[in-house]
A and B are shown apart, each in its own frame.
Chain A
Amino acid sequence: MARPNHALSMLQSRVLMLAVAGITGVIALAFAAVGAWLVIPFAGLEIVALWLALRHLQRHADDEERLDIDDTQISIRRHTAGRVEHYQFQRYWAQLRIEHLDGRSGTRLFLRSHGREVEIGRLLTEEQKENLADDLKTRLGAVEQQRIRQIAPEEGN
């Protein structure tokens, strides 16, 4: 299971938003009162921009990815901005594809089988991806290595 760091709670985020909107609003209205009403639209735009930024963060606050492997199936459950995605692969046929990029994106991991491919571990660091890949190599598509037990890999922070 992997989750990104997130220090701002929903409540704090709202307080911040209200405080900024309140102060900017008062300033804009005060100037509008003496005739400079064109300050209002710019203050409004800015508040919208801050709101969008905070909403973006809050939507991604509960992002997580969960990988469960049982005897026959691998299931991936991913929350991205409130959307839930769910993928299943047959464990026997699933392959791990590792893509090494020599640049800023580092390594990317993909699970594939039957012409479908899904990226996994996007929230993980390089080191954690390596561990996950090593772990998966021993558990995928190699029945002979398979040991029957319930596994819930503990990746991430």
Chain B
Amino acid sequence: MSQTTTAPHDTHHDTHYPGGITRWLTTTNHKEIGSMYLIFALIMFFVGGAMILAVRAELFQPGLQLMQPEFFNQLIGIHALIMIFAALMPAATGFANWQIPLMIGAPDMALPRINNLGFWLLPPAAILLTLPFLLAVFGIGDGALNTGWTMYAPLSVQGGIGVDFAIFSIHILGISSILGSINVIVTIFNLRAPGMTMMKLPIFAWGWLITAFLLIATIPVLAGAVTMLLTDRHFGTHFFNAAGGGDPILFQHLFWFFGHPEVYILLLPLWGLMPHVLATFSRKPIYGYKAQVYSFIAIGLLSVVVWAHHFFTAGLPVGALLYFMYSTMAISLPLAVLFFCWIATMWKGAMTFETPMLFAQGFIIMFGVAGLTGLVLADVAADAQYHHSYFVIAHFHFALFAGGIMGVMTGVYYWLPKWTGHMYDEKLGKLHFWLTVISFNLTFMPQFFVGLAGMPRRIPDYALQFTEFNAISTVGSFILGFSQLIFAWVIYKCIKGGEKAEGRVWEGADGLEWELSSPPPLHSWNTPPVVK
């Protein structure tokens, strides 16, 4: 017996399937990590929502009733950061984790341990972001980030410890996003089933791929910007200090170089989801697959060259104003292609309106409003009036609630039977949709008008003539907030039980994920399917 051998390995390993918390801390399974992302997103959605309900309660009437302006400022900034980084992004990453391997025929994500790390960075980041609230209760510091989510210098250079907490939180969130992006990129490129060429890739995966590249392009800029903020605050540098030869406008450039693509980072996965849902419930193939993919790519490219439209009023040279105005308006072209493809997918289809389809319809119509009001804001001359008004607030909530959160809800209702193996309660789902869509419009439509009439954003008090519309908006926001409890209840009920779902949950659904049982086995696609 002649052989070279190493010591026997792995003979004394743990044969138990870890239970309880250890299981969730150590899991590398894409389905479990996906579920954790989604549950985390749902919890943070309620945390961020509760904050903004307090804000809306304060805005119910003019004058200060409930809180001091300092606390008001903290709530609005943290609300935004939580909704963007801790609710919307994790929800989209949860979708990616659950669906991309199922859809491309991969056994898991390409880097499962990195995947685990990417998720577990999120809770500490969320705690860092909100901890200063608690510390302030105990008399430490002066509360959370109070500069609005944009953290513009020099205000943020002068702010309290909340700014530092936010900076570190953003660093951790950035690392998490980068790890997630790298994982998505290598998974899509490397683990596609044999025969699945890039142009046969499910369109949802395409949307996520562009998102991942955008994150990779922009996160270092954000990380650099907040680090410079940190050194300006504590180490005597003058990156953003005009007195020391720095430039506060530079921060705005850096921030929005990240911030504008961030909008598409949030939306592209959901734009990728829409064609699947529309095709399923229209019982037709996706119309214009290639046109949509090329539009995604065009939007991705354009999104990194239009950032300065967020600060037209900062005093940019005329040439820059013109360039950023036209390039911003150019985005409406590929976006229009997407809208036409979505409508054409439904055209003359045998449409039915289950909850996911209802949310998809709401998404298209209201996201259309966001797009059209965005064109108004892109106009340099008009923007001088709209800038920093409630018009902007209404615009981006049409984009990020109707386009973002309702897109996530579309996906949750669409895939929930696949994930849990149970059908959700269709009646409650429809109730949730109608309450959401009506109360959403009740909340944000009036804000367009108070914005046009001149009400500035980020103020706890306002002039008397805005009272009625603000009252309507507040009533709407409370209905909107509390109807989301139905959403949580539907999800809970669906996890606990219900009518058994088939593998192909929706009769019109097309794609690899529907070939698997519902719920799919813990390990799926161990043998890659062959795509013809």
- Which residues of A does B touch, CB under 8 Å? 5-8, 12-13, 16, 20, 23-24, 27-28, 31, 34-36, 38-43, 45-46, 49-50, 53-54, 56-57, 85-90, 99, 101-106, 108, 110, 112, 114-119, 125-128, 157
Q: Which residues of B contact A117 (CB under 8 A)?
A: 8, 11
Given A27-B221, A42-B224: A7 in contact with B8 (beta carbons within 8 A): no
Chain A interface main SS type: mixed
Q: Which residues of A contact B4 (CB under 8 A)?
A: 86
A24 interface neighbour in B17, B220, B254, B527, Cβ under 8 Å:
B220
Q: 1/0 per position for B81-119, CB-CB distance to A under 8 A?
A: 000000000000000000000000011001100100000
Contact yes or no, B190 A42, CB < 8 A? no
A38 interface neighbour in B11, B190, B224, B526, Cβ under 8 Å:
B224
Nearest-neighbour CB distance to chain A for B25, whole angstroms, equals: 14
Q: Total interface residues on B, using CB and 8 Å?
A: 58
Contact yes or no, B15 A104, CB < 8 A? no
Contact yes or no, A125 B217, CB < 8 A? no
Contact yes or no, A27 B179, CB < 8 A? no
Chain B interface main SS type: loop
Q: Which residues of B contact A7 (CB under 8 A)?
A: 189-192, 194
Cα–Cα, bound, A35→B250 (Å): 8
Cα–Cα, bound, A88→B6 (Å): 11
Q: 1/0 per position for B247-285, CB-CB distance to A under 8 A?
A: 100100110010000000000000000000000000000
Cα–Cα, bound, A106→B524 (Å): 13
**Top 7 closest A-B pairs, CB basis?**
A103-B17, A39-B224, A125-B526, A88-B3, A42-B220, A43-B220, A42-B223
Cα–Cα, bound, A24→B466 (Å): 46
Contact yes or no, A90 B1, CB < 8 A? yes
* Segment at the A interface, from B225-233, B323-331, B332-340, B422-430: B225-233
Q: Which residues of A contact B178 (CB under 8 A)?
A: 46, 49
Cα–Cα, bound, A138→B49 (Å): 64
Nearest-neighbour CB distance to chain A for B97, whole angstroms, equals: 16
Contact yes or no, B182 A50, CB < 8 A? yes
Contact yes or no, A38 B231, CB < 8 A? yes
Cα–Cα, bound, A105→B14 (Å): 11
Contact yes or no, A35 B239, CB < 8 A? yes
Q: Which residues of A contact B239 (CB under 8 A)?
A: 35-36, 38
Contact yes or no, B8 A36, CB < 8 A? no
